[in-house]
Structure 1
């Protein structure tokens, strides 16, 4: 018999995405959603009825916490006494586990699984896949997973569940929780999201200075496409001397000398403290 999964936060934005993919699997799934709006959404969109916490946790094998980081500690502590030894608790982000918010139950398995999201450069041809920017729907995406505690044999189950909830899958990477925290919030949010917001602010400034909005947007996104293709070795090529000089002096103007310290463990920890 296939494993039983209890999905907490099943009616939330992420929970519904996971519920859709779990419907296609052979897992036995119990959906937990306290909010009336979320319960209605699951029923109307997917025909799913929610169950109570005790029913969901009865003889459960995997508990997925599709809930905000700020609630991971509270909810996991509430359900831990109800879980049998060997149960897997899966979070969808490394923040709360990294911050030590999971209960001190050495007999539980803790697993973290997080999507990479579909890459900008891909081979998708179908319209639905090309427009699936988040993943877990039509476009292939890679995933990252970490077995935080538990027997090494448990990794296969965690990865199998992760591949199901985030399908379709491109590649699957096994990391540590610390490595996952370097990727997010470090690489993806502190660096990538921040610099993308800076680029949007810069585009808005060019518009303020008189450049037509659509022209500025096309110009920026087009250059992001080709410059990114060269920087990330998607195509062979090299920048002009003028572009290289602009990068050299642009970094001095835009970036602090010590900006790479955002990847130091204490800075990652402080960022996660603010998040959780």
Structure 2
């Protein structure tokens, strides 16, 4: 039987992946350091196993811990792994920055959920309520595995499909490509735009004085239209809307904004996220 360990099983992401793995056919071990996390796991009747002990038994070790400590956690656990084991992280930043302790006789994978699409056809209340994914709403996953060990990749794929279930598909890319997707595409751009929309709503209501129900209704409906028109080509924008869009770009967006896709800028934002001086490069 395949043994999978979740390190950080009492944390936010640790809980999400543990909930799915706990009902799987894998033998699952749970590791947690914090008293609060241990208490939570105890309330779920999940026995806590020492991380090093669990690592020695495992075929796959999922490091569900904050990015800023992944380097130290890998230094403690990677030496304990049996040859052929897989280290699976949930974000690409630490792998991209070469912070994970390297061993030639083990494999490394990264897998990040796409979350349920805004265009997902939801047919149940449970799917509608699951905005994050991993409970009821189907989602896709993007993963990186740069070894040519297809047996290990298949095992990683199997674990990924369980821990993020229900999964539509797993898309395999390089670590760098995954880092371009997150943070650059979805955090630097998409999440920032979401925050900007919220700020614009606040200004509309609290500075201009538009009643909040009217402003919120207008914004949320038009967000749907904006996304489907631009990303799916559902309908053309009106000529007047295009003029207003051009004004918005001129007023809000910097001319050189596409520099965020340069390698140096990717290094910069990941170093900032990991709270390190600079991204490490292999010699």
Q: Distance in 2 between matches of 1:266 and 1:58?
A: 38
Q: Which whole-Å CA distance do the structure 2 matches of 1:129 and 1:82 have between them?
A: 40
Question: Is structure 2 residue 222 aligned with structure 1 residue 223?
Answer: yes
- Give deviations 1:30-78, integer Å, cap 9, x for gaps: 100011211121221x321111123312331111000000010000011
Correspondence for 1:198 among 196, 199, 213: 196
SS, match of residue 148 in structure 1: coil
* Partner residue, 1:130: 128
Q: How many residues align?
A: 273
TM-score where L is the length of structure 1: 0.96
Instruction: Show the counterpart of 2:114.
Output: 116
Kindly provide the CA deviation profile for residues 117-150 of structure 1, in whole angstroms up to 9, marking residues without a partner as x: 0011111111011111100001101001110346
What is the distance in 2 between the residues matched to 1:134 and 1:106?
Answer: 35
Aligned mates of 1:197, 1:123 — CA distance in 2: 25
The 2-side partners of 1:184 and 1:54 are apart by: 30
Equivalent positions of 1:113-192 (< 5 A) are: 113-149=111-147, 151-192=149-190
Q: Which residue of 2 aligns with 1:19?
A: 18
Corresponding residue number in structure 2 for 1:3: 2
Would the aligned equivalents of 2:5 and 2:28 in 1 still touch at CA under 8 Å? yes
The equivalent residue for 1:32 is 31
SS at match of 1:159: helix
TM-score by length of 2: 0.93
Of stretches 208-217 and 90-99 in structure 1, the one that deviates more from structure 2 is 208-217
Cα deviation digits, residues 218-246 of structure 1 (max 9, x gap): 1111100112111111x631111011111
Could you tell me how far 1:151 is from its partner in structure 2?
Answer: 2.0
* Alignment-derived partner of residue 100 in structure 2: 102
- Mapped to 2, the partners of 1:153 and 1:261 lie a distance apart of 38
Structure 2, gaps ≥5 residues long:
275-283
Q: Distance in 1 between matches of 2:99 and 2:52?
A: 22
1:7 match: secondary structure: strand
Mean Cα deviation higher: 46-55 or 57-66: 46-55
In structure 1, list runs of 5 or more residues that go unmatched: none
Task: Write the distance in 2 (CA, Å) between the matches of 1:104 and 1:57.
Answer: 15
Root-mean-square deviation over aligned CA pairs: 1.2
The aligned residue for residue 68 of structure 1 is 66
In the alignment, the residues of structure 2 paired with residue 51 and residue 104 of structure 1 have an alpha-carbon distance, to the nearest angstrom, of 24
Contact 2:2–2:27 (Cα < 8 Å) also in 1: yes
